[in-house]
Every structure is written in structure tokens, then in C-alpha cells.
């Protein structure tokens, strides 16, 4: 039987091509044109994205893929904090003006979800962390810890309650309290884009698909004859890591957050690109969090929130939002593992393990 294997985690970005999805699209013979398998790759949101789908004709496959890529590109132009003219960046620049700014449909949906998650997590999830994230990014590049004054100033410009949302005449509006604030949807926008692209694929008549980018993925129905897309989870970058898992997933989403690829060691401490908004400091517990739930936006945001909340608050927070979670962390020399009761435990060794 043809198998579909997808590695999980940020490693996805680098090793995917060799690992994945053995077998090529077979041409369909016969009257009913059984679906063939098609693969597409495209840089999106600054990351390599990959789409695998089954379709009855090449034209159907290509048109669906193009529609999905366009939707993701459109969302990047709205939600990116790198693009100076994105709707998000323009909103950030209104900080301190006292003006309520009308929001487009996509930005309002993401900001409303982010606001709800901030409230529920007591601020562990916070899309106003932009100044703190920028500070730690610079620190990682220069390999020098930020000063206490710089951290205090970044914290003054962050805080989820500093963005207010309201509805006026059917429009959502936002008020950004302080000048210099920088909204950063890095922990949630990719998931939203995956959900929206999945919708586009379904509207184009594609039901069997897997779409992934940067450690997050969304899946439709499984490949023909299979129970799910095979996804490799738990790729944790330490020799003491427990066995990875091969999961079989369909009609759900999976997201990972970790510091495997974005971190720096300073003064013997490893700092992540995920910031604890309660301290303004990059996380130091070396973790890999995997979340599974039907919404890719929620999975994306929850994986980041649980990274901050850790094993004490994280699983309850995920459960409250209907998600399963698996936390691996190595705060000192020992790896700690925590998982929700419903997180899949299949441990079929990957054919690539031991290489």
C-alpha cells in the first residue's frame, strides 16, 4: 500500500523532500478517473509551504492549488508585521492616536480570537509582544542580552489590554493605546491562513489534501485507501528525546511550537523566539509543544500559548479549547514529557529513524 509520511516540527522545512510521501501521481485510466496524487511547493509567509492533494484531473489540481496559494498570499499582505503596508502594520502605526480603526474581515477575526486567548491565558498569549519579540531577535543576532531598560520599555509598549476591540454599525474596530506598539501575529496568522486555504481547496472540490507550512498543517480526508495522513510528531532536538510518533490524522490540524530553529545561547542560557509576556523575556525551558485540534488557527495559537504556560497550566488551557497537547521540555538535564489523555500515542517507528 502506498503510504504518506509527513514529518512534524520545524524540521519539516529542511528534510521534507526526502522523507515524504513516497509514490508519484499516477495517471488515471478508465472512465471514472480515480483521483491521482499531486504535490505543490511554494514559499509563503516567508516559509516553504507544501500542498499534497488528490484530484481527478491535472487542471483541477493546479487550479485548486493556485487558488489556495493566492488566498495565503492575500492574507500575508493583510496580517504580516514585516510588510510595512499590511493592514496590521498600518493599524500598529495608529497607536496613541486615540482613533478607532475599522478592521477588515480577516484581521478582525484574528484579533478577536487573539483577544479571547489572551484573556483566557491571563496574558500568556499576547499579540502585542512585537516590541519584545524585536528586542530578543536583535539580542539573538548580536549575541548580547537586552538591557533592563530596553526590556522595561518593550514591556511598556506591550500588553493585550492595550488593544481594545468594539463593534460599530456592523464593523469591528480597534483602538491601539500607545504610540510605538507593534502587533505581531506570528503565532496565529499562519494557522488562520491554513484554515482559509483549506476552505478554498474544499470549495474547489478537493477533499483529500494536506497543506503544511512552518511546522503547522491542516488535513482534509486521507489519501485513498488510508485512514489518515501519516505525520511524524515529536522531533525534539536533543539526544535524550523520547521516540517520535507516527500519527495518522485526517480532517484536523496540527501545530508545533519550539525553539529548535529560532533561539540563541547567551551567558550559557538558551533563549527562544517565544517571549513570556509576563516578564518580557524569551522562554528558556527548551520545549517542543504539539497541538492537535480541528482549527489550524487555534492549534497554532495554542501551541505558542502552551509553550508559555508550560506543563502546569498548558494542558488545562488546551483542554478548555478542545485541543490535545503533547509537551516535551528540557529545562535542565532531563527531558520532561506531559500529554493530554487524548493525544494519539501511536509509536510506529518511522522508516527514517536510525538513519
**Interacting residues toward ligand AMP by CB under 6 A:** 125-127, 129, 133, 184, 186-187, 257, 273-275, 277, 300, 303-304, 308
Alpha-carbon Rg for the chain in angstroms: 21
Query: CB-wise, 109 or 156, nearer to Mg ion?
Result: 109
* Grid coordinates belonging to 339: 500529554
In the list ligand AMP, Mg ion, none, the entry touching 281 (Cβ below 5 to 8 angstroms by class) is none
Number of residues that bind Mg ion (CB under 5 A): 5
Which residue's beta carbon is nearest to the bound ligand AMP?
A: 186
* Grid coordinates belonging to 85: 503596508
158 binds Mg ion (CB under 5 A): no
Smallest gap, in angstroms, from Cβ of residue 305 to Mg ion?
8
Q: State the CB neighbour count (10 A cutoff) for residue 92.
A: 21
Positions in 229-258 near Mg ion (CB under 5 A): 257
Query: CB-wise, 312 or 333, nearer to ligand AMP?
Result: 312
Q: Which of 304, 305, 318, 350 binds Mg ion (CB under 5 A)?
A: 304
Helix (H) or strand (E) holding 271: strand 269-272
In the list ligand AMP, Mg ion, none, the entry touching 277 (Cβ below 5 to 8 angstroms by class) is ligand AMP
DSSP helix/strand/coil, 191: helix
DSSP 163-184: EEEEEETTEEEEEE-STT----
Smallest gap, in angstroms, from Cβ of residue 290 to Mg ion?
11
Query: CB-wise, 60 or 308, nearer to ligand AMP?
Result: 308
In the list Mg ion, ligand AMP, none, the entry touching 299 (Cβ below 5 to 8 angstroms by class) is none
- Are 160 and 123 contacting, i.e. CB atoms less than 8 angstroms apart? yes
Phi/psi at 117 (nearest 5 deg)?
Answer: -70, -35
In the list Mg ion, ligand AMP, none, the entry touching 192 (Cβ below 5 to 8 angstroms by class) is none
Query: CB-wise, 95 or 215, nearer to Mg ion?
Result: 215
> What is the spatial order of strands in the sheet that 252-258 belongs to?
36-44, 47-55, 209-213, 216-219, 252-258, 287-293, 324-329, 336-339
Q: List the end-to-end C-alpha distance of the chain, in Å, as a whole number.
A: 23
Query: CB-wise, 10 or 51, nearer to ligand AMP?
Result: 10
259 binds Mg ion (CB under 5 A): no
Q: State the CB neighbour count (10 A cutoff) for residue 333.
A: 7
Q: Which of 217, 300, 305, 310 binds Mg ion (CB under 5 A)?
A: 300
Rounded to whole angstroms, how far apart are CA atoms 35 and 32?
A: 9
Smallest gap, in angstroms, from Cβ of residue 140 to ligand AMP?
11
Query: CB-wise, 36 or 272, nearer to ligand AMP?
Result: 272
In sequence order, which ranges of the chain are alpha helices (DSSP H)?
Answer: 12-19, 58-79, 87-93, 105-120, 130-142, 148-156, 189-203, 296-320
Query: CB-wise, 7 or 191, nearer to Mg ion?
Result: 191
Query: CB-wise, 183 or 206, nearer to ligand AMP?
Result: 183
187 binds Mg ion (CB under 5 A): yes
Smallest gap, in angstroms, from Cβ of residue 204 to ligand AMP?
27
Rounded to whole angstroms, how far apart are CA atoms 206 and 199?
A: 10
DSSP helix/strand/coil, 304: helix
- What is the contact surface with Mg ion in residues (CB under 5 A)? 187, 257, 300, 303-304
Amino acid at each position: 500500500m502506498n503510504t504518506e509520511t509527513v514529518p512534524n516540527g520545524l524540521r519539516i522545512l529542511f528534510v521534507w523532500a526526502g522523507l515524504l510521501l513516497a509514490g508519484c501521481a499516477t495517471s488515471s485510466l478508465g472512465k471514472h478517473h480515480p483521483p491521482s496524487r499531486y504535490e505543490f511547493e511554494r514559499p509563503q509567509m516567508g516559509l516553504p509551504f507544501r500542498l499534497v492533494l488528490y484530484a481527478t484531473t491535472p487542471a483541477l489540481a493546479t487550479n485548486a492549488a493556485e487558488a489556495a496559494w493566492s488566498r495565503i498570499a492575500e492574507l500575508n499582505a493583510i496580517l504580516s508585521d514585516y510588510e510595512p503596508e499590511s493592514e496590521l502594520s498600518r493599524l500598529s502605526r495608529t497607536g496613541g492616536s486615540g482613533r478607532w480603526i475599522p478592521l477588515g474581515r480577516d484581521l478582525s477575526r484574528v484579533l478577536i480570537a487573539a483577544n479571547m486567548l489572551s484573556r483566557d491565558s491571563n496574558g500568556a498569549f499576547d499579540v502585542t509582544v512585537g516590541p519584545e519579540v524585536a528586542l530578543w531577535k536583535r539580542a539573538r543576532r548580536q549575541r548580547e542580552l537586552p538591557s533592563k531598560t530596553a526590556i522595561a520599555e518593550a514591556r511598556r509598549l506591550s500588553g493585550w489590554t492595550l488593544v481594545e476591540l468594539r463593534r460599530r454599525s456592523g464593523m469591528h474596530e480597534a483602538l491601539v493605546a500607545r504610540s510605538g506598539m507593534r502587533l505581531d501575529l506570528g503565532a496565529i496568522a499562519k494557522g488562520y491562513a491554513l484554515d482559509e486555504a483549506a476552505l478554498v481547496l474544499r470549495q474547489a472540490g478537493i477533499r483529500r489534501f494536506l497543506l503544511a507550512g512552518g511546522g503547522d498543517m491542516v488535513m482534509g480526508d486521507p489519501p485513498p485507501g488510508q485512514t489518515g495522513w501519516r505525520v511524524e510528531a515529536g522531533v525534539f532536538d536533543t539526544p535524550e528525546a523520547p521516540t517520535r510518533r507516527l500519527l495518522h490524522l485526517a480532517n484536523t490540524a496540527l501545530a508545533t511550537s519550539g525553539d529548535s530553529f529560532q533561539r540563541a545561547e547567551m551567558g550559557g542560557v538558551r533563549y527562544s523566539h517565544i517571549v513570556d509576556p509576563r516578564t518580557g523575556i524569551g522562554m528558556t525551558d527548551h520545549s517542543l509543544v504539539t497541538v492537535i485540534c480541528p482549527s489550524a488557527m487555534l492549534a497554532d495559537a495554542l501551541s505558542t500559548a502552551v509553550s508559555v504556560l508550560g506543563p502546569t497550566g498548558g494542558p488545562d488551557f488546551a483542554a478548555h479549547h478542545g485541543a490535545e497537547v503533547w509537551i516535551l521540555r528540557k529545562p535542565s538535564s532531563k527531558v520532561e514529557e506531559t500529554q493530554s489523555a487524548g493525544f494519539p500515542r501511536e509509536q510506529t517507528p518511522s522508516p527514517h529513524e536510525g538513519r
